[in-house]
Structure 1
Amino acid sequence: MAEGLLRQAMNDAGKVDRFVGSAGLNALVGHQADPSACQLMASRQIDISAHRACQINSVMIRAADLVLVMESAHKIAIEGKEPSARGKVFRLGEWGKFNIPDPYQQDLAAFEYSLMLIERGVSDWVVRL
């Protein structure tokens, strides 16, 4: 959801030259986005049905100018995995000082709550990028 929203927000802001991708620390590699996530994003006219999960790796981290994560623990894990990440890993909710819970295997309400926080975080970041 975050990738789709951030990509759309960057495009809407005219920042189309930026690459936006998604990778997880414990991703189920090759799996599609959860049907609840697809449903919520489709209601915002963003199609994430082609998304396939992948694991973040050191090559991705080194290539990135900015790595946005959902939770403080993710930041710690990425910086531990790749020390060169220090200084470029931030929470999506950094400016609002909040973590975004993973709604995986939860009900639609959990996805709606996470999406609300993602939207807030994306809005905060887009004006700064």
Structure 2
Amino acid sequence: MFDNILVVCVGNICRSPIGERYLKQRLPNKNIASAGLASKKSHLEGKPADSMAQKVAQENGIDLTGHQSQQLTSQLCAQYDLILVMEKGHLNALTDIAPEARGKAMLFGQWIGQKDIPDPYKQSKEAFDFAYQLIEQAADAWAKKL
């Protein structure tokens, strides 16, 4: 039913690329991509994953090579059956961009107590490690549900 999954955060350089690649490992038969709510506004479109995100992902067996940030659009949302956002506030931001997609959007942390996954951008390695642990727990829970 949910064969096309889009993972969304703000800039599409930290949380969503890790979430995307981790889910791809767990659900190899699904089409999974990621995008950012403010990639364009933040001048991050086309940029690779954040260097600390790459380091933490690599330490956990996830390769972010080749990732390029892309802006979330209503056209992009139309291509996916399920859209997973990192924070509750992202649901409103998603609705501003693509109101028609609200019904297929849920929290990435839905099955781990509806937890927000905090943005580690420009923070310590510990912040990235913490975000990674939540992403891993949430993705494992989604893999069981899907």
TM-score, with length taken from structure 1: 0.91
How far does the alpha carbon of each residue in 1:66-116 deviate from its partner, in whole angstroms, 9 at most, with x for none? 000000111111123212112210010012210001111111111001001
Counterpart of 1:127, as a letter, is: K
- Counterparts of 1:45 and 1:110 in 2: how far apart (Å)? 18
- Counterparts of 1:87 and 1:101 in 2: how far apart (Å)? 23
2:142 equivalent in structure 1: 125
Query: Alignment RMSD, CA only?
Result: 1.1
- Counterparts of 1:40 and 1:61 in 2: how far apart (Å)? 28
- Counterparts of 2:96 and 2:54 in 1: how far apart (Å)? 32
- Is 2:94 aligned against 1:78? yes
3-state SS in 2 of match to 1:102: coil
1:23 equivalent in structure 2: 35
- Counterparts of 2:46 and 2:79 in 1: how far apart (Å)? 22
Report the structure, 1 or 2, having the larger strand content. Answer: 2
Counterpart of 1:79, as a letter, is: T
TM-score, with length taken from structure 2: 0.81
- Counterparts of 1:90 and 1:110 in 2: how far apart (Å)? 23
Counterpart of 1:86, as a letter, is: R
- Counterparts of 2:137 and 2:89 in 1: how far apart (Å)? 20
Counterpart of 2:87, as a letter, is: E
- Is 2:120 aligned against 1:103? yes
Structure 1 stretches lacking a partner, 5+ long: none
Structure 2 stretches lacking a partner, 5+ long: 1-17
Percent identity, aligned pairs only? 37
Show structure 1 runs of 4+ deviating over 6 A. none
**Number of aligned pairs?**
124
2:81 equivalent in structure 1: 65
